[in-house]
C-alpha cells in the first residue's frame, strides 16, 4: 500500500545536526561592545553567511542586541541583509565590481572603495546623480590585499575629481597579524594608519577586527568590526578564548563494529589498529564541512569527537560521508546505533579541531552543515 510523502523532512532523515545559539552570538557582540573606549561603535562582520551561522538569523539577532552597522563581503550578501534590516548601515568590503555602482544607492549600501579606479567610478555616479552617496575608503597599511597605498590616500582624498563629489563616511584598514598581538606588524600598522589618516580625523576611522578589539583602546578608533569572535571563534591565538561557543555539530552513529589488532581502517589503509578496537561509524564527512585534513594516520594523530564526556579519536581518513571513531573506551550505552556524538561545539572547540586540520576555525565555521538538520536553540 502506498504511503504519503511527508511535506517536511523528519529529523530522522539527517545524518547530523547543526545547532546554532543566537543568544550566544548576541552575547558575544555585547561583550565586545563593552570592551570599547570612548564613543567607538561596535559593528559586525557578517560575511560568509554569518560565518556559517546563517545571515538571515544572525543579522536580526545582532541588530536586536544593539548592532547597527554591518560588513558583508559581496553585494549579493548585502542586498539580502538589507531586506532583513531596512535601517542598518551596510558596507560591502569587496568594493565596486565593474558596472555595479548604481546597484549600491538603489539598495542603500556603501561600498568600501579600494583603488583609484573604484573612486573614479563612484565619483562619476555621484556626479551623474547630483548626489553625494556614502562610501568608505580602504587604505592598505601592510597586508597587501585591497586598499590604496598609504602615500596615495592624501592625494586621492584631496583630488576634486576623485572625492569632490562625495565625502567618505569611513576610512578603514585591516590588521595582518592581529591573532598574534606581540607581532611587530600590529604596532607598525597602527602607527602607519594613525599617521596617514590624522589629516582626515574628521572622517570616522576603523582598524580593529576581532583581535583588534581585544588588543585594547589604541586600536579602536571610531568603529570596530569584529567577525570571528562574534561566532565563538578564537581571535587571539596566544590567549584563552573569552567568547561563548555558538555552534554545535552532532553526527549520528550508523553502526558500531569490532576491529582486530593489525587491521587497517579507512581509505588508503593509513591507520592500523594497535590493539583490538571498537569503532563507531558516524554520518558526517568532508561534504558536511568536517575537513579531510583532520583525519588520522599511523604517523599523525587526527582530531576527535566527544561522547557523553568521553573522548573518541578519529581513526583513519575522513571520507565524504562518514568518519570512523575509536569508541573502545566509551561505555556501550553511549554508542548505540542512532545516537549522536559531538564533532564540534562546547566540548570540541573549533580552533582545537582546526589545529588538527592545519587550518583555522574560520574555515570550519563557514563550511559546516551543508546536509545537516539546522536548529536554532541554546547549546546544551
Domains of the chain with bracketed CATH: 40-231 (3.20.20.10), 247-376 (2.40.37.10)
- Which positions ≥6 away from 256 have C-beta within 8 Å? 278, 279, 280, 281, 327, 335, 336, 337
- List Cα–Cα distances, 147 to 39, 75, 137, 174, 366, in angstroms: 26, 18, 8, 9, 25
pLDDT at 1: 44
Segment 110-138 mean pLDDT: 95
| pLDDT above 80: residue 5 | no
pTM here is 0.93
pLDDT at 280: 97
**Rounded Cα–Cα distance for residues 75 and 62 (Å):** 20
Question: Which has the minimum average pLDDT: 23-27, 45-49, 96-100, 342-346?
Answer: 96-100
- C-alpha 257 chain-centroid distance: 37
Q: How does pLDDT run across 207-245, given as a tens digit for each residue?
A: 999 999 999 999 999 999 999 999 999 999 999 999 999
Question: Which position among 267, 278, 311, 376 bears the catalytic label?
Answer: 267
pLDDT at 158: 87
Question: Which position among 35, 47, 244, 248 bears the catalytic label?
Answer: 47
| pLDDT above 90: residue 164 | no
Number of C-beta neighbours around residue 283 at 10 A: 18
Q: Residue 111: in which H helix or E strand, if any?
A: strand 110-113
Question: Which has the minimum average pLDDT: 162-171, 198-207, 308-317, 339-348?
Answer: 162-171
Cα angle 209, 213, 216; round to 5: 135
DSSP state letter for 62: H
* Cβ proximity of 127 and 116 under 8 Å: no
Question: Which has the minimum average pLDDT: 24-38, 148-162, 185-199?
Answer: 148-162
Segment 36-61 mean pLDDT: 95
Query: In angstroms, how far is the first alpha carbon of the chain from the final one?
Result: 41
Segment 150-156 mean pLDDT: 91
Is 278 tagged catalytic? no
pLDDT at 369: 78
Number of C-beta neighbours around residue 336 at 10 A: 10
Dihedral, 64, 69, 74, 75 alpha carbons, nearest 10 = 90
Segment 68-78 mean pLDDT: 97
Number of C-beta neighbours around residue 155 at 10 A: 13
**Rounded Cα–Cα distance for residues 26 and 59 (Å):** 10
Segment 125-151 mean pLDDT: 94
Can you say whether the dihedral through the CA atoms of 99, 86, 175, 164 is positive or negative? Answer: positive
Q: Average per-residue pLDDT in the chain?
A: 94
DSSP three-state, residue 311: strand
User: In which region does residue 298 sit, left (phi positive, over 0), alpha (psi from -120 to 50) or beta (all else)?
Assistant: alpha
Segment 309-336 mean pLDDT: 97
| pLDDT above 80: residue 3 | no
DSSP structure string for 195-219: HHHGGGTTS-EE---HHHHHH-GGG
Is 120 tagged catalytic? no
pLDDT at 160: 87
Question: Which parts are annotated binding residues for substrate?
Answer: 145, 320
Segment 166-179 mean pLDDT: 94
Query: 368 vs 134, which has greater pLDDT?
Result: 134
Question: Which has the minimum average pLDDT: 59-63, 69-73, 117-121, 153-157?
Answer: 153-157
Segment 325-353 mean pLDDT: 95
Grid cell, residue 213, equals 578589539
For a pLDDT cut of 90, what percent of the chain falls above it? 89
pLDDT at 57: 97
* Structure confidence at residue 84 as a pLDDT band (50, 70, 90): very high
* Cβ proximity of 125 and 118 under 8 Å: no
Dihedral, 198, 215, 27, 66 alpha carbons, nearest 10 = -10
Query: 231 vs 1, which has greater pLDDT?
Result: 231
Characterize the bridge pairing of strands 264-265 and 271-272.
antiparallel
- Sequence-ordered alpha helix ranges (H) in the chain: 22-33, 47-51, 55-65, 75-84, 103-106, 116-129, 150-158, 160-163, 184-197, 210-215, 350-356, 361-367
Amino acid at each position: 500500500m502506498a504511503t504519503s510523502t511527508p511535506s517536511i523532512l523528519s529529523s530522522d532523515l539527517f545524518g547530523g545536526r547543526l545547532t546554532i545559539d543566537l543568544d550566544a552570538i548576541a552575547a558575544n557582540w555585547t561583550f565586545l561592545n563593552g570592551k570599547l573606549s570612548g564613543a567607538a561603535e561596535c559593528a559586525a562582520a557578517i560575511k560568509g553567511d554569518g560565518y556559517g551561522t546563517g545571515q538571515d538569523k544572525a543579522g536580526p539577532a545582532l541588530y536586536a542586541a544593539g548592532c547597527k552597522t554591518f560588513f558583508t563581503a559581496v553585494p549579493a550578501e548585502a542586498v539580502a541583509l538589507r531586506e532583513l534590516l531596512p535601517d542598518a548601515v551596510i558596507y560591502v568590503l569587496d568594493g565596486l565590481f565593474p558596472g555595479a555602482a548604481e546597484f549600491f544607492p538603489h539598495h542603500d549600501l556603501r561600498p568600501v572603495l579600494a583603488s583609484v579606479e573604484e573612486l573614479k567610478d563612484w565619483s562619476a555616479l555621484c556626479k551623474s546623480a547630483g548626489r553625494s552617496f556614502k562610501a568608505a575608503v580602504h587604505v592598505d597599511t601592510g597586508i597587501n590585499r585591497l586598499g590604496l597605498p598609504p602615500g596615495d590616500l592624501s592625494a586621492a582624498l584631496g583630488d576634486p575629481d576623485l572625492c569632490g563629489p562625495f565625502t567618505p563616511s569611513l576610512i578603514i584598514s585591516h590588521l595582518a597579524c592581529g591573532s598574534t598581538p606581540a607581532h611587530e606588524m600590529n604596532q607598525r600598522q597602527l602607527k602607519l594608519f594613525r599617521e596617514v589618516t590624522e589629516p582626515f580625523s574628521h572622517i570616522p576611522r576603523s582598524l580593529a577586527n576581532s583581535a583588534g578589539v581585544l588588543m585594547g583602546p589604541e586600536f579602536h578608533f571610531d568603529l570596530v568590526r569584529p567577525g570571528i569572535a562574534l561566532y565563538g571563534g578564537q581571535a587571539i591565538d596566544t590567549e584563552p578564548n573569552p567568547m561563548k561557543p555558538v555552534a554545535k555539530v552532532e553526527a549520528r552513529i550508523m553502526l558500531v563494529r569490532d576491529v582486530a589488532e593489525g587491521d587497517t581502517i579507512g581509505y588508503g589503509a593509513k591507520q592500523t589498529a594497535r590493539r583490538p578496537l571498537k569503532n563507531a561509524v558516524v554520518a558526517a564527512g568532508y561534504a558536511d564541512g568536517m575537513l579531510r585534513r583532520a583525519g588520522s594516520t599511523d604517523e599523525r594523530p587526527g582530531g576527535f569527537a566527544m561522547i557523553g564526556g568521553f573522548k573518541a579519536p578519529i581513526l583513519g581518513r575522513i571520507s565524504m560521508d562518514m568518519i570512523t571513531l575509536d569508541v573502545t573506551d566509551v561505555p556501550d550505552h553511549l554508542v548505540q546505533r542512532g545516537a549522536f556524538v559531538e564533532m564540534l561545539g562546547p566540548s570540541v572547540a573549533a580552533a582545537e579541531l582546526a589545529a588538527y586540520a592545519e587550518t583555522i576555525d574560520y574555515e570550519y565555521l563557514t563550511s559546516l552543515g551543508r546536509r545537516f538538520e539546522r536548529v536554532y536553540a541554546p547549546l546544551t
